[in-house]
Chains A and B, each alone.
Chain A
């Protein structure tokens, strides 16, 4: 049967539904593959920083010079075939539901990410609010996992993680308020467009907010040096002590890495011009280097992901009370001060408001 003819014969709304579903599947596949190879990149980069080799055994289906590249696939196969252990006194339903609840917000947020000038899954007006709402849901998977396991270590890890995420979310929200004031819109594509031209990137005028946003993002994803929720030296592995096999992969690995990539994307979009070229406004607009495209966004994402790994290999873990102090007593006041400074900028027409 002729596929094109069949597609054209469908109702318009069926066509849209099909097309969107395919697009969503495409984005999800790319995200999942990035997550898989992110784990490899993490082990390789940290290995190099520490003067080791990192994974260097499994090849990609025997192709020479790809030693280590097959490691993520080997890991996935291993995790999928391991036994899922259910603790005797665990709350079975929530124990199995928690990984899925953790996964949904990590994937759903990708709907509003502007990948290129032409491609966004859902170009909605309240994009920024949507991002804030969904990132605040990531904590449920962790809390439920910690509680349903019915273990003291898991509960402690869950409580730590919940307190930490709630604290840093406020700083993140305030940092985004600054971006919102510059762009005058909640739509992520508009936010990117508002940063075009020379000295247009938000990071130039909102540097403190950009730094706070990225650090809070690291804390929000429970990455080192803020990974006390799993702090293996104190509480074994925190909220995922009792998780094994596929539940471990979906509770811990997938959402954590997907959220890392997401924070890298959002930092690029909010403060570093998203898909805008870094030469935009400095070179003539006709130059091919000044064209906006997905490649620039990709470059920025890779840089921030590298920072994640770099920080993990460099900094020792924070103590829990110091994390709380940093969130509540340093970041939140700083963001409030900078929002006030932005108010002054608006009043005196400097920075993004100079025109």
Chain B
């Protein structure tokens, strides 16, 4: 009863927020709608009893990815009018893609051969033990190598992205912070004994 009310509340907010992402005129507003969408979907996952996924969604996407997104979007001066020009031209293509995606989701959810019984799924996973523990047990034993491989792949992506964007400029005046921190009093300060003037 309460869970049903919460489910419809979250779903309605999620759909509204997703529409907001696409329809908002201001790109910062779009980003904030996306944050709201992440939050409500994490709420939906909590209702399913998947607390690890729900919290990690907030931690990774809202706490890190979207912050960087906002960071970039805020500093861009987006010309909204120019972006809207092609809207009517591309609208049919967008609608077609949306329809295909919806059809695929409907097929997965409702087709009898796939046996994706939504109610059955919630009951046996939800009340069982902490799913953080069970995920950890599986990830670090059965799937240890794929997990490590994925981590290395991410590391590779980070290194690649940094090497692509980092450039050495020869005449750059940079501060060497290590040298600054290592400075001692004797390097900068010289105490001079000045002979005092004679009184007239």
Residues of A participating in the B interface, judged by any CB pair closer than 8 Å? 13, 91, 93-94, 124-126, 129-130, 132-134, 136-137, 139-140, 143-144, 147, 155, 158-159, 162-163, 166, 169, 186, 321-322, 325
Contact = CB atoms under 8 A, between A and B. Distances in A.
B175 interface: yes
Contacts of A147: 28, 70, 74
5 contacts: A91-B26, A125-B133, A137-B62, A169-B63, A186-B132
Q: Which of A13, A137, A144 has the most CB of B within 10 A?
A: A137
A129 B74 contact: no
Nearest to B70: A143
Pairs of residues from A and B, 9 with the lowest C-beta to C-beta distance, nearest first? A136-B63, A125-B130, A133-B59, A133-B58, A129-B55, A147-B74, A133-B55, A325-B177, A126-B51
Interface string B43-78: 000000001100110110011100110110011000
Secondary structure call for the A interface: helix
B2 A125 contact: no
Contacts of A159: 71, 74-75
B64 A136 contact: yes
Contacts, number: 75
A13 B181 CA distance: 60
Given A93-B29, A159-B75, 10 more contacts: A126-B52, A137-B58, A139-B67, A143-B71, A144-B28, A155-B74, A186-B130, A186-B132, A322-B180, A322-B181
B63 A94 contact: no
B35 interface: yes
B126 interface: no
B67 A143 contact: yes
Secondary structure call for the B interface: helix
Contacts of A166: 64, 67-68
A36 B135 CA distance: 42
Nearest to A146: B74
Nearest to A163: B71
A138 to B, nearest CB: 9
Contacts of B130: 125-126, 186
Q: Which of A130, A133, A155, A169 has the most CB of B within 10 A?
A: A133
A136 B56 CA distance: 11
A94 to B, nearest CB: 7
B133 to A, nearest CB: 8
A144 B29 CA distance: 10
A129 B59 contact: yes
B46 to A, nearest CB: 10
Given A13-B2, A140-B35, A186-B132, A321 B177 contact: yes
A261 B184 CA distance: 36
Contacts of B35: 140
Contacts of A158: 74
A67 B55 CA distance: 46
A126 B45 CA distance: 14
